Amino acid sequence: MAEIEWKPQKNSTVSLHQQITAYMKTKIQHGEWTIGMKLPSQRNLAKQFQVNRSTIVAVLEELAADGLMEAKVGSGTKIINNTWGLLAATPPPDWISYVKSGIHQPNISIIQEINKAEANPHMIRLGTGELSPELLPKGRMEETFQFNEKQSLSLGYTEPKGSFALRQTVSAYLSKKGIIASSESILIVSGGLQALQLLSIGLLKRGSTIFHETPSYLNSIHIFQSAGMHLLGLPLDEEGVTFDTIGRLKKQHKAGLLYTIPNFHNPTGIVMSERRRKDLIAVSQMEKIPIIEDDVYGDLWLDTPPPKPLKAHDFQGNVLYIGSMSKSLSPGLRIGWIVGPEAVIGHLADIKMQTDYGSSTLSQFAVEKWLSKGWYEEFLINIRDELRHRRDFTNELLKKYFSDIATWKLPKGGFYIWLKLKLSISSQRLFSLALKDGILINPGIVYDKTDDQHLRLSYSYASFDELERGLITLAQIIKREARGRFY
């Protein structure tokens, strides 16, 4: 059940009990809360509605007396009817069973909790992987959509591969990275996540295996698993993903392809060395294993530019390259691209037209303008300075408050510091304790279900004041838990 956003009015002449009862009845009557749906616990409902538990008990008793709900010891409270169902000869459909049988798997519970908590404006978000609202280019973005009488903007659909002007501009932008790609081999997508979704349903058979680094961002989403594929992790060292065993593993499994984030890896921040990149391309060609290169963080280097992308070393069409503006410019634009062989791009474009008929025309226009006018390069210079300042500030805080309880390496770009705790503390418990204190973190189990020792900290979203308050409180929680274990 989704988080309840509505709250009763405490200064109303209508009692809290009556307001909540009416709200729940309306939800049930209009089919928003369906038969079979399980309600949160009484304590949880009281917290969400911000009332005493006794008020919730009275509400549930009244709804049960009306024949709409049923409470059973050990299984909680469920909706068993609606106002129309009480009058109808046949019961309405059991939507809960439909939800459970859907193809796309629900995300792991801790990710769902993170997504809910991010909507709380009072939460200190120490794990969020996006630019702070303070860093987004609001003024220049407003200028983007100002026109004179000689300018015009098409508000219709674009062609299947996306705006031709944008694809030409992206082609020129990629050439600076050493990637030679014509507009015909570029597909505009609605962000990097849609790129992965298109690849999962467009290129691979059910039962295929996706190789990836361990830990990996892929473990925080269920795109490939929902398409019937299996994930298999490969070790990660200081130079990037290792692939000594990939030939043997390919024979043991239905190897589909390898997914990698070479630049400022999510969540570890590791940058794949140039030597490792060339070796990976060679192995890919020898073993005939295609590569998905996710380079959404590539422009966010803070010290020195990373080596050229894998795609720049690919002369046989083995690499499918994903880029995006979501991390480096604005998450709300939802514009990215896939670069690959024309046959692949054409097929994925056909699938995309069947699913959303093209990415936002306005967003494509904005990105084309930012790239062609040089605004994006100007913005990157500023944003690198801002992120470098935030990274160094966070590093000093960690030295001051975490040096005795954790280890870490200073990232050379991206958003994240991969913090390794010296003490054995349940990351799930640490997540819950931090959340109670208004601090949101991303524990290691999000990226590797066996990793109970790491935290992914982000310095890109929280303000300087929030970073300081959040990290001080987090250190206190960890030390308090450690003392409780040993005393």
Is the domain defined by 16-102 classed in CATH 3.40.50.2000?
Answer: no
Whole-prediction pTM value? Answer: 0.86
Q: Which residues contact 190 (CB under 8 A, 6 or more apart)?
A: 334, 335, 336, 356, 359, 360
What pLDDT shows up at residue 100? 78
The Cα–Cα gap between 76 and 232 comes to: 37
CATH match for 110-129+378-486 among 2.60.40.1260, 3.90.1150.10, 3.40.50.720, 1.20.1250.20:
3.90.1150.10
Query: With contact defined as beta carbons under 8 Å apart, do 229 and 204 qualify?
Result: yes
Same CATH topology for 16-102 and 155-373: the answer is no
Closest CA to 232 of 207, 205, 206, 214: 214
Cβ neighbours around 435 below 10 Å, total: 17
HSE-CB of 147 using CA atoms within 13 angstroms? 10
Per-residue pLDDT reduced to its tens digit, 228-272: 899 999 999 999 999 998 988 988 887 789 999 999 999 999 999
82, two tokens: 């609606």
Say whether 346 sits in a helix, a strand or coil: helix
The Cα–Cα gap between 450 and 430 comes to: 15
The residue extents of the domains of the chain are 16-102, 110-129+378-486, 155-373
Closest CA to 315 of 209, 449, 178, 422: 178
Is the domain defined by 155-373 classed in CATH 3.40.640.10?
Answer: yes
Say whether 63 sits in a helix, a strand or coil: helix
Exposure string of 177-210, with b = 16+ CB inside 10 Å and e = fewer, is bebebebebbbbbbbbbbbbbbbbbebbeeebbb
Per-residue pLDDT reduced to its tens digit, 130-172: 999 999 999 999 888 887 656 667 778 889 999 999 999 999 9
Q: From the centroid of its chain, how far is CA 193?
A: 8
Q: From the centroid of its chain, how far is CA 307?
A: 25
What pLDDT shows up at residue 487? 43
Tens-binned pLDDT, residue by residue, of the chain (487 aa): 678 889 999 999 999 999 999 999 999 888 889 888 899 999 999 999 999 999 999 999 999 998 899 988 878 899 988 765 555 556 667 777 777 778 777 888 899 999 999 999 999 999 999 999 999 999 999 888 887 656 667 778 889 999 999 999 999 999 999 999 999 999 999 999 999 999 999 998 888 999 999 999 988 888 888 888 999 999 999 999 999 989 889 888 877 899 999 999 999 999 999 999 999 999 999 999 999 999 999 999 999 999 999 999 999 999 999 999 999 999 999 999 999 999 999 999 999 999 999 999 999 999 999 999 999 999 999 999 999 999 999 999 999 999 999 999 999 999 999 999 998 888 889 999 999 999 999 999 999 999 999 999 999 999 999 999 999 999 999 999 887 765 4
Q: What are the backbone angles phi and psi of residue 333, rounded to the nearest 5°?
A: -70, -35
